[in-house]
């Protein structure tokens, strides 16, 4: 559905014979406000529900529906550009493994790590990171289905040149009963550190 079709769906046409100038002005303002909101918002936001999309756990991959996985509990989901990449391997993921006790004390039951990699890569990377037996679960999003559903596709030219295709932006979100309660997306004025465990503990 196009943006125009979306506005027509939300604001179905009425006969102009039954609308006063004031009514028409109000209607135009509603449509303009809706379009501006759609254009200004570039990714998932606080208050949104987690989309019902499946990602891959292990290999052969088991399908994990993230909406179901996060329902009725407090979870942190982090997304990153790629397994085995420097910042992800040396800082971001280790921060969550190191802060498990503090996260659990705040009521977090699980940390989901999402990357545009297959389940086999994520399983191997999780083992290398010391994630086995921890509260940190490594999940692959090989087709970018979750990444796209969250509107967090990372397709800047340098990323395409390095990886050959789009990846996931670096983000971290607190999820309570399937709904986003806090969220940080790195980029621009937002440093990578805003997505590390120390920063997310302050959001809990």
Backbone angles phi, psi at 81, to 5 degrees: -65, -30
Which residue is it, tokens 């019902």?
A: 52
Cα–Cα distance between 95 and 99 in angstroms, integer? 6
Compute the distance between CA of residue 150 and CA of residue 132 in angstroms, rounded to an integer.
27
Q: What are phi and psi of 50, to 5 degrees?
A: -70, 130
Catalytic residue among 88, 114, 186, 197: 88
DSSP 50: P
- Asked about 88 being catalytic, the answer comes back as yes
Cβ burial, residue 21 (10 Å; 0-12/13-18/19+)? exposed
Residue 71: how many CA atoms within 13 Å on its side-chain side? Answer: 8
| Phi and psi, residue 26, nearest 5° | -65, -40
Name the CA radius of gyration of the chain, rounded: 20
Residues with catalytic function:
88
């Amino acid at each position: 559905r196009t943006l125009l079709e979306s506005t027509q769906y939300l604001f179905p046409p009425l006969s102009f014979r039954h609308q006063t100038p004031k009514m028409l002005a109000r209607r135009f303002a509603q449509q303009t406000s809706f379009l501006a909101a759609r254009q200004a918002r570039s990714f998932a936001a606080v208050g949104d529900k987690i989309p019902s999309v499946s990602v891959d756990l292990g290999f052969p991959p088991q399908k994990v529906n993230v909406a179901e996985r996060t329902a009725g509990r407090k979870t942190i989901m982090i997304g990153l550009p790629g397994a085995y990449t420097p910042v992800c391997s040396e800082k971001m993921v280790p921060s969550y493994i190191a802060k498990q006790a503090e996260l659990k004390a705040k009521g977090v039951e699980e940390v989901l790590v999402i990357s545009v990699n297959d389940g086999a890569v994520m399983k191997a990377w999780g083992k290398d990171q010391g994630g086995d037996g921890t509260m940190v679960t490594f999940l692959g999003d090989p087709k970018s289905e979750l990444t796209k559903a969250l509107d967090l596709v990372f397709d800047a030219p340098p990323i395409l040149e390095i990886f050959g295709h789009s990846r996931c932006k670096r983000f971290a979100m607190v999820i309570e009963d399937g709904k986003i309660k806090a969220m940080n997306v790195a980029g621009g004025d937002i440093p990578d550190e805003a997505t590390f465990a120390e920063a997310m503990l302050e959001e809990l």
